[in-house]
A and B are shown apart, each in its own frame.
Chain A
Amino acid sequence: MADYSDNQSHEEDLEHSTRRSFFKQSTAFGAIALTPAALVRAAEHQWDEKIADVFEKMPLNIEVNGVKHSLKVEPRTTLLDLLREQLDLTGTKKGCDRGQCGACTVHVNGVRINSCLSLAVSNEGKKITTIEGLAVGDNLHPMQDAFIRHDGFQCGYCTSGQIMSAVALVKEGRTHSREQISEFMSGNICRCGAYSNIVKAIEDVKNSGL
């Protein structure tokens, strides 16, 4: 796996900055960019994005909810922001962007992860499942159905992450007791406080043998 230590990122930034300066100074748009009084500029008529497409973005082949995508993304873009901002899959939520709340939980090759802690480009060739990919047509996944019946949410913002975690939890076999479910669901914060209903929903799904 690539090393994304602070030092390396910093060097990459410097490199970008140098390359940027070269491009800016070598185009007519440079004059605009160097004018400090320019409060608004239209990002140089999208030139930044055009340059980025050629020089800064990396190819990424990724399968999301069964749909194959061939994309070009900036290396610094997280899987979460790729899903939400570029693929318009906003079911996966951003609650902290620091891996502390679990709202962004998705499955990568069937394993639950915090998508805010995963760079999009590190998921080359992988299969991602988000909350939008859980139901089959109009048929809800049993966990989604159990969350509705047990009212395992209120505002609904943590719900996608809770359900993705819960589905993985059952697969992991960590549902032997209420305590075990609670412990292994503790990476998913619910500020509305639906925890006891979430546990009941998971027990229900487990007991129905799914």
Chain B
Amino acid sequence: MNKIVLGEPLNRVDGRLKVTGGAKYSGEYKQPGLTYGVLVPATITSGTVTAMDTRAAERAPGVVAVITVFNAPAVPGFQKDAVKPVRGLKLFNDNKVYFNGQPIALVIAETFERATYAAKLVTATYAETPFETSFEKNFDKGVVPNNGQYKDYVRGLADAYKNAPVIVEEDYKLPSEMHNPMELHVTIAAWVGDDEVHVYTKSQGVMGSQRSVANAFGLATEKVHIHSRFVGGAFGSSLRTWPHEIAAVQAAKLVKRPVKLTLTREQMFTSVGYRPLTIQKIGLGATLDGKLVGITHESHSQTAVYEEFTENAVAVSRFLYASANANTRYRVVPLNVGVPCPMRGPGEATGAFALESALDELSYKLGMDPIALRLANYAETDPERNLPWSSKYVKECYALGASRIGWDQRLAHPGSLRDGEWLVGYGMGCGAFGAHRSATTVRIRLSADGRVVLWSATSDIGPGTGTAMTVIAANILGLPADKISFELGDSGFPTAPTQGGSQTVSSVGSAVHDVCVALRGRLYELSGLPVDSTTDIDYVRVLKEHGLPELELSGESKPDAEAQKYSSYSFSAHFAKVAVHPLTGQVRVRQLIAVVDAGKVISHKTASSQMIGGAVGGIGMVLTEEAVIDDRFGKYINGNLADYHVPVNADIPDIEAIFIDKPDPYINPIGTKGVGEISLIGVAAAVANAVYNACGKRIRELPITPDKLI
């Protein structure tokens, strides 16, 4: 057998389960005596619930209980004297309504149909108060975030761009964008007695979910069991424990039976976060030969009146390009809306659209090629932190992407390249996302039959965590992949970070690496060889000779001090070729190339899919996606997948991912930097810039729908 190498294009280890319907997602675990919970949303946008009539619902067939803001059993973590109070909205804890669609009751019934029907019978009367959902109208009410992490940033002189020979000063607007994972958010809660609970829920971090539930109900952490083996997409929407998850646990405690609470697609528009509506101002100043004199980046984003959400959209402008002068400002605008949360490439994707669009505008003003402009301002070290990069191969990304898309076919003058009725254009946009690593523990067991099992409380929301971990373990142990299994998604497993911020492979992969090296070393020791030997030995025979039924060990892996001496980022350069139909305003992305410097690639097939998927998300951001609130009522008017347009198959061309694939020498033992976020960051600008190159229309307000082009 050929030894599995890092980068091996292994088929997904859970592929068979996923193509046969055998993969069990959170809502699919059979529970004896299962009941169904359906939430009742408020129909006002701000005010209080003054009365509710639940009699009809209670009398409806099969209804077990109706929980409302007036009768809900107390949740310990909601109380003012709670040791670790629950963050954010405390569902049913009081009668205040902060946003339209906020749940005010929960109906629990014997079947899904009965609960759904009875939920419609619950009525409420309200005392309405004035509300604000219009971002534009409230733009000037933007405030510095309370969390203290977003002080105005100045390097050199503020607003230095204003005195430069060539200036770009523009506003860029992104609408609210919904994660819309295909799986509806769902939680099954099943208590064992009064002090122990099993929760099957859609979670990107089972240990975080465990802490949240334990805190909310005052339980010992080990008495809370979170199960989330398969997650049907999340993209950030399952980074935290949401109010409806707590409500499911609360309801199950009350009715003393398992409760399954599934959000409807419409409820997901108000209940599980989104990328917030943002208006950014970019000021760029350059010399006539294209050297940046100053960068100014300001961002206003929407948040909720009841909880602050912030994201670092302006950060990219501090480090992506060399400029002696740079300053950023960030304000949040609290509105009567559900609270946002991180969505794939949080902050950076938003910021990169504005910065990379503005750079493109600058290139036209200067009469410079957009790649040449970026090269003229290439940051050889991190200008924000004054540190060397741990690794950066962005010049290689530019060259590979340009060559692959046929950048030499691009005509500098917009609207010059035709293909029949279509105008054709090329554009590029870049992205960067911090390369992180958190402490992780992995347990490993070698059994007498030669099989290896690894456990870690990490997640797989789709990228293929288990597949990447199998590649690492197989590589180090010199075993075929089918001898290895990697177990995840359960809070009973050893500590791992939440799957977010592109850090899973770097964190968990490093721990898998370390524990496999330790296991191999132990086996060498038993064989009387030095621990760092490279001799092939028969593991099964070693166990047998020493009378061991199995060998199990676990180890923690965490970042070392050396890595702190460097600034570590993943980088991407996206290249798009689009066609614009001038009569209909239709935009077709004809080709998209994503070139990535993400360090070492561990699992080539799944990493490529991640890159391609991020690019699809970027196409949605730039061309189709927009969650719309009717500000007269404060309610989303397109809260479904027919009216909120995520890209479909016919919107997507063949997308190619190209990896630089050079290990980062400092960040971790496997040299990875992460691909989840940068796959999306920079895509929207690449496409928008290509649209401008095609037809000469600069659209600064996403999405670029046909009406904006005709």
B14 interface hit (Cβ, 8 Å): yes
Contact pick for B654, options A41, A46, A190, A196, CB 8 Å: A196
Contact pick for B462, options A76, A147, A192, CB 8 Å: A192
A48 and B233 contact, CB distance less than 8 A: no
Q: Which of B616-653 contact A (CB under 8 A)?
A: 616-617, 640-642, 646-653
Contact pick for A77, options B113, B182, B463, B652, CB 8 Å: B113
- Bitwise, B573-608 to A at CB < 8 A (1) or not (0) is 000000000000000000000000000000001101
The distance from the CB of B194 to the nearest CB of chain A, in whole angstroms, is 15
CA distance A155 to B117 in the complex (A): 31
Contact pick for A76, options B30, B113, B610, CB 8 Å: B113
Q: In the complex, what residues of A have CB within 8 A of residue B345's CB?
A: none
- Bitwise, A40-80 to B at CB < 8 A (1) or not (0) is 11110010110110000000000000000000001011000
Contact pick for A156, options B14, B64, B654, CB 8 Å: B14
CA distance A186 to B645 in the complex (A): 12
B63 interface hit (Cβ, 8 Å): yes
The distance from the CB of B104 to the nearest CB of chain A, in whole angstroms, is 16
Contact pick for B612, options A100, A131, A163, A196, CB 8 Å: A196
A191-B235 in contact given A38-B58, A196-B653 (Cβ < 8 Å): yes
Q: Which of A65-124 contact B (CB under 8 A)?
A: 74, 76-77, 81, 84-85, 88-98, 100-101, 103
Residue of A nearest to B463 (CB): A154
B21 and A130 contact, CB distance less than 8 A: yes
A199 and B649 contact, CB distance less than 8 A: yes
The distance from the CB of A77 to the nearest CB of chain B, in whole angstroms, is 6
The distance from the CB of A195 to the nearest CB of chain B, in whole angstroms, is 4
CA distance A138 to B453 in the complex (A): 23
CA distance A160 to B646 in the complex (A): 19
CA distance A8 to B495 in the complex (A): 55
Q: In the complex, what residues of B have CB within 8 A of residue A172's CB?
A: none
A149 interface hit (Cβ, 8 Å): yes
Residue of B nearest to A144 (CB): B19
Known contacts A90-B24, A95-B265, A190-B182; 19 additional CB pairs below 8 A are A34-B59, A39-B254, A43-B110, A81-B113, A95-B182, A132-B20, A147-B15, A148-B16, A154-B233, A155-B462, A156-B17, A163-B19, A183-B650, A186-B651, A191-B181, A193-B612, A195-B647, A196-B653, A198-B649
Q: Which of A154-194 contact B (CB under 8 A)?
A: 154-160, 163, 178-179, 181-183, 185-194
Residues of A within 8 A of B (CB): 13, 16, 20-21, 24, 33-34, 36, 38-43, 46, 48-49, 51-52, 74, 76-77, 81, 84-85, 88-98, 100-101, 103, 130-132, 134-135, 140, 144-145, 147-149, 151, 153-160, 163, 178-179, 181-183, 185-199
The distance from the CB of B703 to the nearest CB of chain A, in whole angstroms, is 16
B71 interface hit (Cβ, 8 Å): yes
Contact pick for B20, options A94, A135, A149, CB 8 Å: A135
B180 interface hit (Cβ, 8 Å): yes
B642 and A48 contact, CB distance less than 8 A: no
CA distance A100 to B645 in the complex (A): 10
A-B contact count (CB 8 A): 225
Contact pick for B655, options A20, A49, A196, CB 8 Å: A196
State the majority secondary structure of interface residues on A.
loop
A159-B265 in contact given A48-B61, A48-B62, A193-B612 (Cβ < 8 Å): no
B21 and A189 contact, CB distance less than 8 A: no
B182 and A93 contact, CB distance less than 8 A: yes
CA distance A63 to B65 in the complex (A): 35
B640 and A96 contact, CB distance less than 8 A: yes
- A–B Cβ pairs within 8 angstroms, 12 of them: A33-B58, A77-B113, A90-B25, A130-B21, A151-B608, A155-B230, A155-B233, A156-B23, A158-B182, A191-B179, A193-B616, A199-B654
Q: In the complex, what residues of A have CB within 8 A of residue B112's CB?
A: 81, 85
| Contact residues on B (Cβ < 8 Å of other chain), bracket | 35 or more
A144 and B20 contact, CB distance less than 8 A: yes
The distance from the CB of A41 to the nearest CB of chain B, in whole angstroms, is 7
Chain B CB within 10 A, most for which of A21, A134, A194: A194
Residue of A nearest to B254 (CB): A40
Q: In the complex, what residues of B have CB within 8 A of residue A191's CB?
A: 179-182, 233, 235, 646
CA distance A134 to B646 in the complex (A): 28
Q: In the complex, what residues of B have CB within 8 A of residue A158's CB?
A: 182
B19 and A101 contact, CB distance less than 8 A: no
Q: In the complex, what residues of B have CB within 8 A of residue A103's CB?
A: 182
Residue of B nearest to A38 (CB): B58
B687 interface hit (Cβ, 8 Å): no
CA distance A133 to B696 in the complex (A): 53
CA distance A93 to B255 in the complex (A): 27
B461 interface hit (Cβ, 8 Å): yes
Residue of A nearest to B28 (CB): A90
The distance from the CB of A92 to the nearest CB of chain B, in whole angstroms, is 7
Q: In the complex, what residues of B have CB within 8 A of residue A43's CB?
A: 61-64, 109-110
Residue of B nearest to A148 (CB): B15
B232 and A93 contact, CB distance less than 8 A: yes
CA distance A5 to B276 in the complex (A): 39
A185-B21 in contact given A95-B184, A98-B642, A157-B183 (Cβ < 8 Å): no
A193 and B62 contact, CB distance less than 8 A: no
Q: In the complex, what residues of A have CB within 8 A of residue B109's CB?
A: 43
The distance from the CB of B408 to the nearest CB of chain A, in whole angstroms, is 25
CA distance A160 to B25 in the complex (A): 13
CA distance A183 to B28 in the complex (A): 31
CA distance A81 to B550 in the complex (A): 44
CA distance A91 to B27 in the complex (A): 12
B12 interface hit (Cβ, 8 Å): yes
B129 interface hit (Cβ, 8 Å): no
The distance from the CB of A21 to the nearest CB of chain B, in whole angstroms, is 8
Q: In the complex, what residues of A have CB within 8 A of residue B54's CB?
A: 36
